[in-house]
Amino acid sequence: MSESVEFTPIVFPPRVLARISPELSLQRHLSLGVRPCLRAFEEFREVETSDGNLSRYSPKCNNTNSNNILGSNVLKSGSTIVITSITGGIVEDTLSSNELQEDDGFEPKESSMGTYDKSDFATVYPVVDIERGRVGLPTDEEMIISQMLHDDIRSSGIIPKKALEVICGIRTTDRDGKPAILYPDSDDMESADLIKILSYKQTRKWNYCLYAKIKVFSRDGPLYELCWNSLMYALQTVQLPRAFVDERATDLKIPVRTRGRTATIRETYDLLCDPDQSVQLSLNKSNIAYASRCGVIDVDPDVQLPEDDDQMELDRQNTILVADLQGEAEETSITSTISVITDADGSFKSVTLIGGTSNVSPEIIKSAFRLAKKRSQDLASKIL
């Protein structure tokens, strides 16, 4: 029995290793001082952004007669492309008609800045669609991102409710049969028209609501931050069309019978939007913030490559902060993440810390915040 058993080590090319053991591949990369995507630890992906000419108000738009997109953005980060288009709807506000009567005149109410009452702020209704080569219902990820965007936009106080109120005009037809649209806040208004609008306005109130459709191509890592940033850019391009009712419709009343006994008179208005005139959506500029995500990973000393002699003295970091996670290996192996929405001055809108398996020290969190602020400053400078 003199047979000897030989062990031959199996060698995999890097791509195969990354596939079968992402954790090991990531650790090996980290021990070399780079990441699998070849970025440095604290390096973010470059972001390119434009409005993509999708909106009816973008300067090169050539289908203004049919386009109902009010604001848009195309964001490219690495190979990932996020296309956001914002459309609008008009919703009738039935509860606040009493409140409106107290609010005489058209001067905008003093916005209640500083006090972050959620009810003062509106949000958008996002639907995220990630291209993944499958058909069917939205995935968990899509639903979670949509819900988070919806909640975070409201809680960060970017869109004041006041900004979405419809200041309704009236379309009148003069003696020559030429239609003209009169708005209550325009300067050259005849007082008679103003009164007419005033008396009419007190009965009804409308608000715009904004829908965001977010399409993602080439998903490559966590997406929430990219979607948020794209939505942020898109919101800043939104123009709200002026809305008006037709003169003839202002005193139209239709009886509505509800449950037999109570008969109410219901006025119906056909609210139309002006194809030419629009106003910029007035966002709470000070609350505009951008998102970034960092991951924290412990370096496993067992899988470190053998060090050279001259490197022996160097005290190696054993917990690494990795900015802007990308790729399957980083996404699956880095379980501790810090997701921050902030502006350049560090007024944080949302901070999500997930403990995961790594030791997240206060120093790490501090440097993550520092990175997030820098990133936010960089992203804010990209606005067109």
Piece of the chain touching another protein by CB under 8 A; list 68-76, 98-106, 250-258, 354-362: 68-76
Choose which of 18, 26, 30, 83 interacts with another protein (CB under 8 A). 83
Quote the least distance from Cβ 129 to another protein, whole Å: 8
* Closer residue to another protein in complex, CB, 249/353: 249
List binders of another protein among 86-105 (CB under 8 A).
Answer: 87-92
DSSP state of 345: T
Q: Does residue 62 touch another protein according to CB under 8 A?
A: yes
List binders of another protein among 140-199 (CB under 8 A).
Answer: 143, 146-147, 150, 171, 179
Which region, left, alpha or beta, applies to residue 124 given φ > 0 means left and ψ of -120 to 50 means alpha?
Answer: beta
Instruction: Tell me the C-alpha distance between 26 and 311, whole Å.
Output: 21
Counting residues that bind another protein (by CB under 8 A) gives 58
Quote the least distance from Cβ 89 to another protein, whole Å: 4
φ, ψ at 28 (rounded to 5°): -65, -40
* Closer residue to another protein in complex, CB, 150/374: 150
Q: Does residue 229 touch another protein according to CB under 8 A?
A: no
Piece of the chain touching another protein by CB under 8 A; list 31-39, 208-216, 288-296, 302-310: 208-216
Instruction: Tell me the C-alpha distance between 368 and 359, whole Å.
Output: 14
Instruction: Tell me the C-alpha distance between 362 and 358, whole Å.
Output: 13
Piece of the chain touching another protein by CB under 8 A; list 26-34, 56-64, 107-115, 351-359: 56-64
Q: Does residue 256 touch another protein according to CB under 8 A?
A: no
Angle at 243 between CA 64 and CA 71, to 5 degrees: 45
Quote the least distance from Cβ 30 to another protein, whole Å: 23
DSSP state of 310: G
Q: Does residue 125 touch another protein according to CB under 8 A?
A: yes
Quote the least distance from Cβ 239 to another protein, whole Å: 12
DSSP state of 224: H
Query: By C-alpha distance, which of 243, 235, 229, 228 is closest to 210?
Result: 235
Query: By C-alpha distance, which of 70, 54, 53 is closest to 211?
Result: 70
Quote the least distance from Cβ 205 to another protein, whole Å: 13
Cβ within 8 Å of residue 276, ≥6 positions away: none
Instruction: Tell me the C-alpha distance between 153 and 122, whole Å.
Output: 8
Instruction: Tell me the C-alpha distance between 192 and 179, whole Å.
Output: 17
Quote the least distance from Cβ 65 to another protein, whole Å: 6
Instruction: Tell me the C-alpha distance between 128 and 15, whole Å.
Output: 31
Q: Does residue 241 touch another protein according to CB under 8 A?
A: yes
Query: By C-alpha distance, which of 164, 313, 312, 159 is closest to 243?
Result: 164
* Closer residue to another protein in complex, CB, 9/133: 133
Q: Where on the chain is the footprint of another protein (CB under 8 A)?
A: 52-54, 61-63, 65-70, 72, 79, 81, 83, 85, 87-92, 125-127, 129, 131-135, 137-138, 143, 146-147, 150, 171, 179, 208-209, 211, 213, 215, 217-220, 241, 243-244, 271-276
